[in-house]
Amino acid sequence: MALNVVIMAAGKGTRMKSALPKVLHRLAGTSLLQHVLNAAAELGGGRTVVITGHGAEQVEAAAAASGAAFVRQMPQLGTGHAVQQAVPALDERHPVTLILNGDVPLIRPETAAALVQACGGSKLALLTIALADATGYGRIVRDGGSVRAIVEHKDATPAQRELREVYTGIMAAPTAWLKRRVMTLRNANAQQEYYLTDLVALAVADSMPVVSTAASSETEVLGINSPLQLAELERRYQRAQAERLMEAGVRLADPARLDVRGSLVCGSDVEIDVNCVFEGDVQLADGVRVGANCVIRDARIGAGAVIHPFTHIEGAQVGAGAFVGPFARLRPGAELGTEVHIGNFVEVKNSTLARGAKANHLAYLGDATVGERVNYGAGSITANYDGANKHRTVIGNDVHIGSNSVLRAPVTIGDGATIGAGSVISKDAPPGELTVARARQTTIAGWHRPQKVSKKV
């Protein structure tokens, strides 16, 4: 069903103590607002309106980037006042308007859809949850089972404060009724704010049924107000991802020490050691092993490959059976073929390495095309940048690059060539031959080390 979605995001977020608007802080690598926008998008077509206020320009830019509309609320006089600002933007052709919170990021689309269903364009539907400690929340006041009102904590009587069922801040209302009735809210309460929650009493007065839907877990209705709450919700989120991966057979050394900031898709028999961070879209094929403390972003790792500890991979592909690391760095455009070996302190950028090529120690390959079975010696580099432009290095199959060589691009090393250690290669090297480009070794006969001059006192 097409619907209107209002996302309230004008609040200050004082307790974040940050220059960044609260809803733009990130959970699992994605802003809080974006999580909510994604959930709204999953509910299908309609119109999404973000209420902005504090940090409006930044928040509006984020909303616009997702195709959402926005209205500014200045000053912020409460949640009812916030929705009043959205009234002109709500499309009456959509019978239901869903109200979400920009700082409640993990709301499940399934739960929101159930709430919309419960509203059905004719009832006021509230998302509620029972909490052990309900301090600060609006309490659901019932009479013989049916909801009569929401009473804010500050306005509640001692008896009402005993109530454990609370309003989560998320509701679905019939659009035409909401547009009319939200304008009639008053601010005669403890905080002198326009409370959206007073809509419940108005619905009761109008004989409109008020129904409730229970949230499936606390996690999906937890709001963020402070760095501690942000970090705690992040851990809950990561724990859920770890459980999902483990249910699919992934062996995590410790589910508490994994961070997935994006999407991680694993084949069977994948093992991940502690403290690994996966960002963007990462795919690990069958039998991949990832050592401790790796950061892997937007990458595809082939079957059986082993990523040793402390490796950083971004925008790269690793072939089946390859070994990478420890302490290796694959930058965007690195494409390693089957059984390639990349060892410690080796950096690869925008380069392809064909099957079986090896660069095991302290090396740089940038803008290079490397053939099969090449052995790229320790300390060798491609000098790919002349200060203005980047140039390519082409290394044929079965080439042996001696240690500490500089391949000054553009340059081509023919198939089967050997480059003597310590060479600076600035001209193409022919296939099958040994090419050496360094000063010849000489021995100075009869040379003596200088002697220390003894000082006379």
Q: What is the DSSP string of 4-19?
A: EEEEEE----GGG--S
Binding of residue 70 to ligand UD1 (CB under 6 A): no
Q: Nearest-CA neighbor of 197 among 157, 168, 158, 159?
A: 168
Backbone angles phi, psi at 417, to 5 degrees: -70, 155
Q: Could you tell me which stretch among 41-49, 76-84, 342-350, 367-375 binds ligand UD1 (CB under 6 A)?
A: 76-84
Q: Does 25 qualify as catalytic in the annotation? A: no
> Nearest to ligand UD1 by Cβ — which residue?
138
Binding of residue 128 to ligand UD1 (CB under 6 A): no
Looking at residue 313, its amino acid is I
Binding of residue 168 to ligand UD1 (CB under 6 A): yes
Q: Nearest-CA neighbor of 316 among 284, 359, 363, 292?
A: 284
Q: Nearest-CA neighbor of 277 among 17, 15, 28, 1?
A: 28
Give Cβ neighbours of residue 445 (< 8 Å, ≥ 6 apart): none
Looking at residue 395, its amino acid is I
**Contacts of 421-424 spanning 24+ positions with Cβ under 8 A:** 421/377
Stretch 241-270 residues interacting with ligand UD1 (CB under 6 A): none
Binding of residue 34 to ligand UD1 (CB under 6 A): no
Binding of residue 137 to ligand UD1 (CB under 6 A): yes
Among 3, 5, 6, 8, binds ligand UD1 (CB under 6 A): 8
CB of 97 to ligand UD1, least distance (A): 15
Binding of residue 152 to ligand UD1 (CB under 6 A): yes
In the numeric block, which tokens belong to residue 369? 């095309």
Binding of residue 11 to ligand UD1 (CB under 6 A): yes
Binding of residue 31 to ligand UD1 (CB under 6 A): no
**Coil, strand or helix at 226:** coil
**Coil, strand or helix at 273:** coil
Among 34, 76, 128, 397, binds ligand UD1 (CB under 6 A): 76
User: x/- binding map, residues 211-230, to ligand UD1, per CB under 6 A?
Assistant: ------------x-------
**Residue in this structure with the two tokens 């050496």, named with its chain if needed:** 436
Binding of residue 55 to ligand UD1 (CB under 6 A): no
Give the residue with the Cβ less far from ligand UD1, 33 or 118: 33
Binding of residue 138 to ligand UD1 (CB under 6 A): yes
Among 46, 102, 267, 402, binds ligand UD1 (CB under 6 A): 102
Binding of residue 97 to ligand UD1 (CB under 6 A): no
Among 73, 128, 213, 293, binds ligand UD1 (CB under 6 A): 73
CB of 128 to ligand UD1, least distance (A): 9
Among 39, 140, 196, 342, binds ligand UD1 (CB under 6 A): 196
The answer to whether the beta carbons of residues 110 and 90 sit under 8 Å apart is no
For 19, half-sphere exposure in the C-beta direction (CA atoms, 13 angstrom radius) is 0
Which residues are bridge partners to 168 per DSSP? none
DSSP 8-state class, residue 429 = B
Binding of residue 166 to ligand UD1 (CB under 6 A): yes
Binding of residue 195 to ligand UD1 (CB under 6 A): yes
Stretch 35-54 residues interacting with ligand UD1 (CB under 6 A): 51, 53
Binding of residue 60 to ligand UD1 (CB under 6 A): no
Q: Nearest-CA neighbor of 378 among 359, 392, 395, 354?
A: 359
Binding of residue 169 to ligand UD1 (CB under 6 A): yes
The span from the CA of 70 to the CA of 61, in Å, is 9
Binding of residue 320 to ligand UD1 (CB under 6 A): no
Which residues are bridge partners to 88 per DSSP? none
Give the residue with the Cβ less far from ligand UD1, 1 or 77: 77
The span from the CA of 122 to the CA of 95, in Å, is 8
The span from the CA of 160 to the CA of 170, in Å, is 20
Q: Which of 153, 361, 391, 400 is catalytic?
A: 361
Give the residue with the Cβ less far from ligand UD1, 34 or 393: 34
CB of 196 to ligand UD1, least distance (A): 4
Looking at residue 358, its amino acid is K
Give the residue with the Cβ less far from ligand UD1, 169 or 304: 169
Among 21, 55, 78, 371, binds ligand UD1 (CB under 6 A): 78
The span from the CA of 172 to the CA of 226, in Å, is 27
The span from the CA of 315 to the CA of 88, in Å, is 44
Among 82, 282, 305, 328, binds ligand UD1 (CB under 6 A): 82
CB of 24 to ligand UD1, least distance (A): 12
Q: Nearest-CA neighbor of 406 among 441, 372, 434, 364?
A: 364
Binding of residue 81 to ligand UD1 (CB under 6 A): yes
Helices 32-42 and 56-65: crossing angle in degrees, nearest 10, is: 30
Binding of residue 105 to ligand UD1 (CB under 6 A): no
Give Cβ neighbours of residue 370 (< 8 Å, ≥ 6 apart): 351, 352, 353, 354, 357, 376, 395
Q: Which residues sit at the interface with ligand UD1, rule CB under 6 A?
A: 8-11, 51, 53, 73, 76-79, 81-82, 101-103, 137-138, 150, 152, 166-169, 195-197, 223
Which residues have a catalytic role annotated?
361
